[in-house]
């Protein structure tokens, strides 16, 4: 029996599966990853200049425009066969598979996945930079890059988790629980270098399987490493 068949059997047998996804999950939709040496966002841009609260406060327009560019790209792409296979599995097997994603692109959700735990937020949404006052009304923001409150100037910012920020506590707690309770964890398309998300792989008490064309920091925690692309491997595992 080859590794793919072995993991297919584990999928069939597992009552609870957690799927932890990263940027590689969306690579075949045309969304760049972060750490690819050539095409990765962090190969071209300095995260400290773009993905921190300090960067936004120093250069709000630059940071807003960079996120707006990514948002526009994401609006033009579609979920791939990997996202769709996950969503189909969930629909056919209610309650058996929890999606935990580091991706902010919303593609799991657009594919039809339910209950997605988006640990790093959602790039299609905004939130207030400062705690909103009574004048801060989302429906009455002043247009701009970034938009702001006409009353107090509070800025809108992308609803993503920046470096140095806490993850949404509720999503993180649910993800930790899903990891701790699963019999099988599929770790798909993540380099496994960003914590606390990567640490979830070490919480899984059962089998851990990596799906990734390249080596990752989590390979040592895996029972099986499937060297392949998400959109190719997931439909075979989850059909
Ligand atoms: P990375 O860019 O660090 O890693 C992407 C991974 O996807 C790599 O291991 C690739 O080998 C793999 N990959 C590429 N194409 C793939 C494919 N078609 N199928 C499967 N895997 C493929 O992205 P993340 O691990 O998601 O954080 O990065 C983690 C976090 O770092 C991101 O959420 C982001 C970033 O800074 C925030 O924005 C807070």
Of 196, 185, 195, 194, the closest CA to residue 225 belongs to 185
Task: Give residue 190's pLDDT.
Answer: 98
Which residues fall within 8 angstroms of residue 95, CB to CB, at 6 or more apart? Answer: none
Q: Closest ligand 1 atom, CA of 189?
A: 21
pLDDT at 1 over 90: no
- Predicted confidence (pLDDT) per residue in 66-88, tens digit: 999 999 999 999 999 999 999 99
Test site for ligand 1: of 79, 118, 190, most ligand atoms within 8 A of the Cβ: 190
Whether 35 lines ligand 1, by a CB cut-off of 6 Å, is yes
SS3 for 156?
Answer: strand
Mean pLDDT, residues 185-210 taken together: 97
Closest CA to 111 of 49, 29, 178, 44: 29
Q: Which atom of ligand 1 is nearest to the CA of 216?
A: 9
**Alpha-carbon span 127 to 216, nearest angstrom:** 33
Omega prior to 236 cis, within 30 of 0? no
83 lines ligand 1 (CB under 6 A): no
pTM of the full structure: 0.97
Phi and psi torsions of 110, nearest 5°: -65, -25
Q: Is the CB of 230 under 6 A from ligand 1?
A: yes
Q: Residue 42 C-alpha to ligand 1 middle, in angstroms? A: 11
Give the three-class secondary structure for 129: coil
How many other C-beta atoms are found inside a 10 Å radius of the C-beta of residue 112? 14
Q: Evaluate: CB of 23 within 6 angstroms of ligand 1.
A: yes
Report the mean per-residue pLDDT for the chain.
97
Report whether residue 8 contacts ligand 1, using a CB cutoff of 6 Å: no
Mean pLDDT of 108-129: 97
What number of other Cβ atoms are within 10 A of residue 147's Cβ?
16
Tell the burial category of 48 from Cβ atoms under 10 Å away from its Cβ (0-12, 13-18, 19+): exposed
Residue 18 host element (H or E): strand 17-21
Distance CA 178, CA 17 (A): 8
140 alpha carbon – ligand 1 mean position (Å): 36
**Backbone angles phi and psi of 96, in degrees to 5:** -95, -25
Answer yes or no: 108 catalytic.
Answer: no
């Amino acid at each position: 029996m080859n590794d793919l068949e072995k993991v297919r059997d584990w999928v069939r047998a597992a009552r609870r599966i957690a799927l932890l996804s990263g940027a590689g999950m969306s690579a075949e939709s045309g969304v760049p990853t972060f750490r690819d040496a050539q095409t990765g966002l962090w190969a071209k841009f300095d995260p400290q200049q773009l993905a921190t609260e300090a960067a936004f406060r120093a250069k709000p327009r630059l940071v807003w425009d960079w996120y707006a560019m990514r948002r526009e790209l994401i609006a033009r792409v579609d979920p791939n066969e990997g996202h769709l296979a996950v969503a189909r599995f969930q629909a056919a097997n209610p309650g058996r598979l929890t999606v935990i994603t580091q991706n902010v692109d919303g593609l799991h959700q657009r594919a039809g996945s339910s209950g997605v735990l988006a640990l790093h937020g959602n790039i299609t949404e905004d939130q207030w930079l400062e705690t909103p006052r009574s004048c801060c009304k989302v429906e009455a923001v002043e247009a701009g890059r970034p938009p702001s409150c006409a009353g107090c100037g509070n800025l809108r910012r992308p609803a993503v988790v920046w470096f140095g920020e806490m993850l949404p506590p509720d999503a993180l707690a649910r993800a930790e629980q899903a990891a701790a309770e699963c019999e099988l964890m599929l770790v798909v398309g993540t380099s496994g270098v960003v914590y606390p998300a990567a640490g979830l792989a070490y919480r899984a008490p059962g089998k851990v399987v990596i799906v990734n064309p390249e080596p990752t920091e989590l390979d040592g925690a895996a029972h099986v490493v499937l060297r392949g692309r998400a959109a190719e491997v997931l439909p075979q595992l989850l059909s």
